[in-house]
Amino acid sequence: GQNWYTATYNPHTGTCLAENIDVSGFDTININIKAVDVAGNYREGGSITAKVDNNPPHIQFDPSSQGWTNKNITVVISATDSESGVEKLYYTVITNGESCPSKDSGQYNEVLGNSGTVDISDEGEWIICAYAVDNVGNSANIIESGVYQIDTTPPSIEFNIPEYIKNLGTISAIVTDHKSGVSEVKVQISYEENGKTYYWDSEKWSESNQWLDMVKEKDKYVYNASNIRLKDGILYKVIIKAIDTAGNEVYRESNTTADLSPPNITFNYGGYTPGSWVKGHVDVTITANDLSGISSIEYSIVQLGKNCNETSYMKLPSNNIVSISVDGRWRICIHAIDTVGNSIYEDSDEIWIDNTEPLVNISTPHTGSYTKGVITILGTASDNTSGINRIEVHINDEIAGEAQYNSTTGKYEYELNTSLYADGTHQIKVVAYDMAGNSNETVVDIIIDNTPPKIEMYNVGLNYSGSSWIGGQYTNVEINVSENIGPVIYSVYLDKDNSCSDISSDCGTLVANLTNYIEDTSKVLTLGQEDPSAKQGWGSITSGDYYMHMIAKDKAGNIDIKTIQVKVDKDAPTIEFIYKDANGNPYTLGSWINEDVIITVNVIDERIGVDRKLYKIINSSEDCSGDMFHQVSGNINISTDGEWKVCIYAEDKLGNNDTISSGIIRIDKTKPQISIQDMPKYITTPLPVKINITATDVTSGLREIKILVKDNDINKYYNGSNWVDDEYWINVTVENKMRYTYELSLNDLNERHSYTIEAKAIDNAGNERGARKSFIYDAGQPELNKIIQLNLTHVKLLFSENVRSVDSVRIDGKIYVWYNGIKEEDTAVIECEKIDGIEAICSIDKPLPKEIVSFDISKGTIEDLAGNKILLSYSVPVENAADMLFKIPVNQWTYIALEYEIDTQYELYKRTMVTTEGTILTYIGNWMNTILRHPLTGYIIRINSNSSSGYYYLPVRYKDKLSEDVKNVKLVNGWNLIAVIGDSTTKNGNIGWFADVGRTSLESLATPYGLRYYKFAWIIDAITKEYRSGENKTRLDGWVKDCTPYWIYMLEDVEYAARDPPTP
């Protein structure tokens, strides 16, 4: 195509300029020139052909990028344009991360020609931005090179090793490089010995130079050198080399000396010889030396036998001296640690110290003890530290000799002949010395007595029939003694022969013993008292004849013996029980019996004789403790229900007695209780029928329950699974329970049969009691068999069985009622008020019409006497239904009930009138109530009297609901009533009346409201004729204000023809 563009003409220069000509999409173009003067003359010039260049130049970088280096970088930039050629090339260098500046920013350098070089020498990360312009003005977008990275700074190393070490462990260094980053870290470990240098090669030492790789862990580089074997005292050189990514390299060196030996410990005892006993204290000076120096030194003083690593340590005093002054055998334990952790436990020689006196005592004789003849002085001595050296015995402050000491037992002994000293008090002193020279002493005072006492014995036990009897309450012996010095003790022995000659001979059984010495010259001893051995001995003595030996002994052991003959009776009388029932038959203990139990008690004593016998009767759970109340004079009779025991107390003339309990006697004369669960006359539950039978017996407990089940209609008995002809009792074993409930399950019962259940409970004593219950099983449903129509308002129903109720019965179907000249269908509701067995007399809420298409009863339920219910469903053919109707006047009211109370001041009377309009008028005296139902409308009207004023009010009810609660209800047949109240002040007298106010015109029942007034003629006139006129409305309003609280019910907003109400 051809497009003309207007050019701007410059008259001064004679040139023209055409701008913004779009030549995109063309490779070549033809340019034609046409000039036009002011007069419109024009001329075309020549044609020029031009090439079109729409593409910008192309830029390249060499190299395009450069990774990390520690040298300068030279980049060659070149631009090419294959069409018009490159006119200019521009560049600038920016930091990596920055954006290239715009072309007009002034930050670009121009390259002469189409190529040039850029030198980068500074550390960092750089980018070159460049663009080019060709000869026709096409300019390329700004091009970015790759990243050029320069790092000339070596990494930094933080590294140090202690001056002394015991193990190189893990060598760690912090190596950082903030430019190119760390590339590798190596370590060299070496030492010199005998003019040679050795290097660690990760497994062993060798003479070849070795660099080992270090591993980065978190922020450190580490090398595990814990397996390097070091030599004590050798200097080791550790060099770490780090190289960054750009190739920069750095070295760090640290020297350390190996200290593998623990400190050296020395003890200075200051003149004390270790291992010898010393009094006072011992001071020990302690020194420690080590190559790397001492880090800590602690000490502990331990007893001999305890290890130094089993104690706690404390810091060594600054003067390095440890002082010991406590008794015992000690060692000083030193724990020293050098600066590299070498540790040593070192202990001193033994140090023995004893500053405590030995312990010594005299175990026999005791201070104040009586002695005679040769005695042995016994005692113990001990020294827990250095031990006993010797023991000396002193009598009255004179050395008698040295005692024999047993170091194993710690006991010593020394024999002393008291006959060498006069009777009286003497002092014994024992002195003990330990190995360290410490001494201690103890002293006792003894009494020497070598003269025996003299004894006399009389009034032994009970003197009966010329003999001394011992036993029971008579176990006392009176004695009298004489002694020249000190108190005495007494012992009494019983022996079958007279062989007791001295204290060392067999004197029989010890029966009395005074362990406490007494000063009394007269004393009463009781056998078996005060001393356990005597009590045990007296307890082992049996009844019989004995010799009694009385021994008196003073505190020195001198004795005197006296002997007499005695008779011992320790046995209580024997008691025997004989048990019989009331008939003289033997009674078995523990068994239950329902009669008296007679007990005969025999008491016998074959030694000194019976003194008395008593008894009491207790509950079997009690024991025989406490007093006895009755003298046994004959047989003992037990007749009361319960579990009993008889306690017998028998005593002989010495007081020996015994209380014995009889066995348990169980008496139960009371019959058990038994009951059959309450049940209705009729049982309707499905089979099986479960009946609980409960029996109780609180005395002897139940033994068994017997149950008889009889079908009264077929005279059969239930044996637990089947019905049989013979009488059958089901037996239930109870096993001694006080209360038991048995669930009788009957699986086979006949419908509407009568059943009798008898049950008997028998207790363990044989007592028996019975119970009886009857029921009728009726689980079947009743049926309606027949309908008999009595009249228009009542119907008679016949059932298959006796029923108790008929609920919500409806007569449904096509029942035609002539109403306002129109034949309509209707449904009536019946209520069954009188139910007698299989019959029910039911009233219908509206008269049945003369014509009935069908006669169906449904939607109701019937309930039989057992409570079974079923939905009614019965239908009568049309022709039969019509024949059943009995015709009665349709406007007759049905009298339902008359409720009344009689007061002596009034006479009860009643008068009923029926008008041609279907209105019933009832005149009522005081104190009575009447309930009436209208046969067509179904209204129920209750007339109540007010005894205090004589007024009557007639609340209207509709289907048992108060009319003020029933609003906007359409009556089926359009009937309504107006009830008016009168009082004795009106000319018409006390009368209440009902009126049909327009059967053919009323179609709805509006919301009723009340007017309170008692001149009914005026009110009716106002309602029926002029209610809507202003004058009468005003008059009605005035009446309302003066009303007493009696009510008239009327219709509001109802249109109908005015007429006067009928006159009674």
Give the pLDDT band of residue 38 (cuts 50, 70, 90): confident
Which of the pair, 1049 or 196, is modelled with greater confidence?
A: 196
- The CATH class given to the 574-667 domain equals mainly beta
Report how far residue 506's alpha carbon sits from residue 516's, in angstroms, rounded to the nearest whole number.
23
Percent of the chain with pLDDT over 70: 75
Task: List the domain boundaries for the chain.
Answer: 8-51, 58-150, 156-258, 264-353, 359-448, 454-568, 574-667, 673-776, 784-884, 894-1050
Reading the block at residue 939, the tokens are: 């209204």
Contact at 8 Å (CB) between 833 and 797? no
Residue 28's CB: how many other CB atoms inside 10 A? 9
Residue 864 CA: distances (Å) to CA of 216, 781, 990? 101, 7, 48
Beta strands 559-568; 467-470: pairing state:
parallel
Query: Mean pLDDT over residues 486-505, rounded?
Result: 81
Report how far residue 941's alpha carbon sits from residue 979's, in angstroms, rounded to the nearest whole number.
10
Percent of the chain with pLDDT over 90: 47
Question: What is the reported pTM?
Answer: 0.38
Reading the block at residue 697, the tokens are: 């017996």
Q: Which of 121-125, 238-242, 811-815, 973-977 has the lowest mean pLDDT?
A: 973-977
Determine the length of the chain: 1064
Q: Which of 310-314, 407-411, 823-827, 1027-1031 has the lowest mean pLDDT?
A: 1027-1031
Query: Mean pLDDT over residues 751-768, rounded?
Result: 93
Query: Mean pLDDT over residues 406-435, rounded?
Result: 91
Model pLDDT for residues 130-156, shown as the tens digit of each residue: 999 999 888 889 999 999 999 999 999
Model pLDDT for residues 639-671, shown as the tens digit of each residue: 999 999 999 999 999 999 999 999 999 999 999
Give the pLDDT band of residue 793 (cuts 50, 70, 90): low
Query: Mean pLDDT over residues 938-961, rounded?
Result: 34
Query: Mean pLDDT over residues 634-638, rounded?
Result: 92
Give the pLDDT band of residue 851 (cuts 50, 70, 90): very low
Residue 492 CA: distances (Å) to CA of 246, 456, 477, 540? 121, 13, 9, 14
Give the pLDDT band of residue 814 (cuts 50, 70, 90): very low
Residue 935's CB: how many other CB atoms inside 10 A? 21
Which residue do the tokens 């509206």 mark?
846
**Does CATH place domain 264-353 in 2.60.40.10?**
yes
Cα atoms in the Cβ-side hemisphere of radius 13 Å centred on 277: 17
Q: Does 22 have pLDDT greater than 70? A: yes
HEC-encoded secondary structure of 449-460 = CCCCCEEEEEEE
Query: Mean pLDDT over residues 698-708, rounded?
Result: 94
pLDDT of residue 1: 59
Which residue do the tokens 């001394």 mark?
468
pLDDT of residue 503: 67
Query: Mean pLDDT over residues 737-764, rounded?
Result: 92
Q: Does 855 have pLDDT greater than 60? A: no
Which of the pair, 716 or 780, is modelled with greater confidence?
A: 716
Fold category of 58-150 in CATH = Immunoglobulin-like (2.60.40)
Bridge partners for 578 per DSSP:
600
Give the pLDDT band of residue 845 (cuts 50, 70, 90): low
Contacts of 870 (CB under 8 A, 6+ apart): 781, 782, 783, 861, 862
pLDDT of residue 876: 53
pLDDT of residue 840: 76
Which range scores top for mean pLDDT: 326-330, 489-493, 833-837? 326-330
- The CATH class given to the 784-884 domain equals mainly beta
Indicate the CATH number for domain 359-448.
2.60.40.10
Bridge partners for 761 per DSSP:
705, 769
The CATH architecture of the domain made up of 454-568 is Sandwich (2.60)
- Amino acid sitting at position 535: K
pLDDT of residue 422: 86
Residue 817 CA: distances (Å) to CA of 13, 680, 825, 885, 989? 125, 46, 6, 14, 40
Report how far residue 956's alpha carbon sits from residue 923's, in angstroms, rounded to the nearest whole number.
17
Burial (Cβ within 10 Å: 0-12, 13-18, ≥19) of residue 765: buried
HEC-encoded secondary structure of 319-372 = CCEEEECCCEEEEEEEEEEECCCCEEEEECCCEEECCCCCEEEEEECCCCEEEC
Q: Does 67 have pLDDT greater than 80? A: yes
Indicate the CATH number for domain 673-776.
2.60.40.2550
Bridge partners for 321 per DSSP:
285
Give the pLDDT band of residue 259 (cuts 50, 70, 90): very high
Give the pLDDT band of residue 789 (cuts 50, 70, 90): low
Q: Does 574 have pLDDT greater than 70? A: yes
CA 126 to chain CA mean position, Å: 73
pLDDT of residue 306: 86
Cα atoms in the Cβ-side hemisphere of radius 13 Å centred on 73: 29
- Shared fold status for 156-258 and 574-667: yes
- The CATH class given to the 156-258 domain equals mainly beta
φ, ψ of residue 853 to 5 degrees: the values are -75, -45
Model pLDDT for residues 970-1019, shown as the tens digit of each residue: 332 332 333 333 332 333 332 232 333 332 222 222 223 222 222 233 33
Q: Does 480 have pLDDT greater than 60? A: yes
Q: Does 921 have pLDDT greater than 80? A: no
pLDDT of residue 337: 94
Report how far residue 912's alpha carbon sits from residue 909's, in angstroms, rounded to the nearest whole number.
11
Contacts of 678 (CB under 8 A, 6+ apart): none
Nearest Cα to 385, choosing from 357, 366, 420, 361?
357
